[in-house]
Amino acid sequence: MINTSYYKDLTKMNTFGMKVKARCFIEYDSVADLVDIEFGELARPVLHIGGGSNLLFTDDFKGTVLHSRIDFIEILDEGQNNPEGQVLVSVGAGVVFDDFCAWAAKEGLWGVENLSHIPGEVGASAVQNIGAYGVEVKDVIRKVYCYDTVEEEFVHFEVSECGYAYRDSIFKNPEIKGRYIVTHVLFALSKQPRPMLDYGHLKEAVTEAAAPSCGSDNQSLTPALIRKTIIRIRKEKLPEPSVMGSAGSFFKNPVVPMEQFVRIEAAAKAEHGADYKVPHYLLPDDMVKIPAAWMIEQCGWKGRRSGGAAVYEKQPLVIVNYTGEAYPEEIVGLERRIMTSVRDRFGVELCPEVEHI
Ligand SMILES: Cc1cc2nc3c(=O)[nH]c(=O)nc-3n(C[C@H](O)[C@H](O)[C@H](O)COP(=O)(O)OP(=O)(O)OC[C@H]3O[C@@H](n4cnc5c(N)ncnc54)[C@H](O)[C@@H]3O)c2cc1C
């Protein structure tokens, strides 16, 4: 079924809680419904949303917003029919990604437990290549099924064709963005334990949660235990969208040449003492990734408010709708001031992770 409404209030459909409206809003229930939508006739621009958890609406939306309610989870192969013994699961784009993680944990299937509690829906997960705790969704995706709104036909992409990189995919490429609507995704999960606990202090946290009855050996771990631990950690660090609006990490972590990193570290040592170390990750080709959160904190933004917006006190990479009444301009104003501070102090241009609409 297709439901069309006009001047639809999107406040509850974006996790930032921006009080905006869409001129036209279309919600559909099934893959087949897409054939009945006249894409050429829709008020432009056209935007397909999921849970609105990576979006910042800066104004009312003048065109058409689409939303999928395709919500099945179906096991296609228990592992008998593929050489790797993987459990192949087809999941509708409108399924809340964390509901899929909860389902997998309940079934004792491995693969998505580290991605627990990431807001948003399955369709967007394949667009964004969501990631957390050392796992990216591309690691468990086999195929992405789409509707091509230009050729008006159903197509699918093998995972190798999706151009996956850090929080990126071909679906975000400006030349084709919006052309393909993800209808469902084929995931390859595993009945065999394959815990991924190398990220940060995850292993200690999981071992502690498992104690005293068992250790962190593969036999005693379950996807449900890892999921529970990750949900606990995430709740301590990140704002719950139902309590305080945000879109998670607002900026990407910048990548700079080694010479620039050396200058930044020298300045930090001059300020904080010779033993001070700037957090960083070495990349190929003499490039260095520096956490944007560190830069924002060094500029004194952590916990600071600006009108209804604020930098989250526990994680400076997150801008929040502090009062619940923030205007888009307040969020954008704070974003600009943070970018200016970081540019002035470090000579680094921060790039937003959140999509501005
Ligand atoms: C508190 C918080 C914590 C977060 N933590 C993480 C994290 O740990 N890791 C991480 O990777 N992300 C994180 N995020 C960001 C966000 O959850 C992800 O980017 C998520 O995938 C967005 O899903 P969504 O359904 O809300 O998509 P939306 O924000 O609605 O849309 C995102 C993009 O996907 C497109 N899209 C949506 N549905 C479809 C579809 N069916 N077909 C084609 N295109 C589509 C949209 O057009 C848009 O370009 C966090 C966000 C919040 C608020």
Separation between Cα atoms, residue 194 and residue 72, nearest integer Å: 25
The answer to whether residue 182 scores a pLDDT higher than 80 is yes
Ligand 1 centre from 55 Cα, in Å? Answer: 8
pLDDT at 215: 52
CA of 75 to the centre of ligand 1 (A): 24
Q: Is 53 a catalytic residue?
A: no
Dist CA 262 CA 241 (whole Å):
38
Ligand 1, residues at Cβ distance < 6 Å: 15, 47-55, 68, 93, 118-121, 123-125, 127-128, 130-132, 167, 171, 181-182, 238-239, 241, 246-248, 355
Nearest CA to ligand 1 atom 50: 248
What pLDDT is recorded for position 214? Answer: 54
> Is 60 exceeded by the pLDDT of residue 166?
yes
Measured N-to-C along each axis, helices 97-107 and 223-237 cross at an angle, to the nearest 10 degrees, of 150
Q: What is the pLDDT at residue 154?
A: 97
Query: Residue 149: what pLDDT?
Result: 96
To test ligand 1's pocket by mutation, which of 114, 127, 179 has the most ligand atoms within 8 angstroms of CB?
127
What's the rounded mean pLDDT across residues 343-350?
97
> Probe ligand 1: pick from 128, 170, 227, 317, max atoms within 8 Å of CB?
128
Among 30, 68, 246, 249, the one annotated catalytic: 249
Tens digits of residue pLDDT in 70-120: 999 999 999 888 878 899 999 999 999 999 999 999 999 999 999 999 999
| Alpha-carbon 325 to chain mean position | 24
Class for domain 73-237, per CATH?
alpha beta
CA distance 47 to 4: 14
The residue whose CA is least distant from atom 19 of ligand 1 is: 54
Fold of 245-356: 3.90.78
pLDDT digit string, tens, across residues 233-251? 999 999 999 999 999 999 9
Longest dimension (CA), the chain: 66
Whose CA is closest to atom 15 on ligand 1? 54
Residue 121 CA: which ligand 1 atom is closest?
A: 25
Please give the pLDDT value at position 267: 96
Does the annotation mark 69 as catalytic? no
Note the pLDDT tens digit of each residue in 190-234. 999 999 999 888 999 998 888 755 555 556 799 999 999 999 999
Nearest CA owner, ligand 1 atom 18: 54
Fold of 2-68: 3.30.43
Task: Work out the mean pLDDT of the chain and round it to a whole number.
Answer: 95
Report CA 110 to chain centroid distance, whole Å: 20
Q: Is 249 a catalytic residue?
A: yes
CA of 275 to the centre of ligand 1 (A): 39
Say what the pLDDT of residue 217 is: 56
For the chain, domain boundaries: 2-68, 73-237, 245-356
Provide the whole-model pTM.
0.94
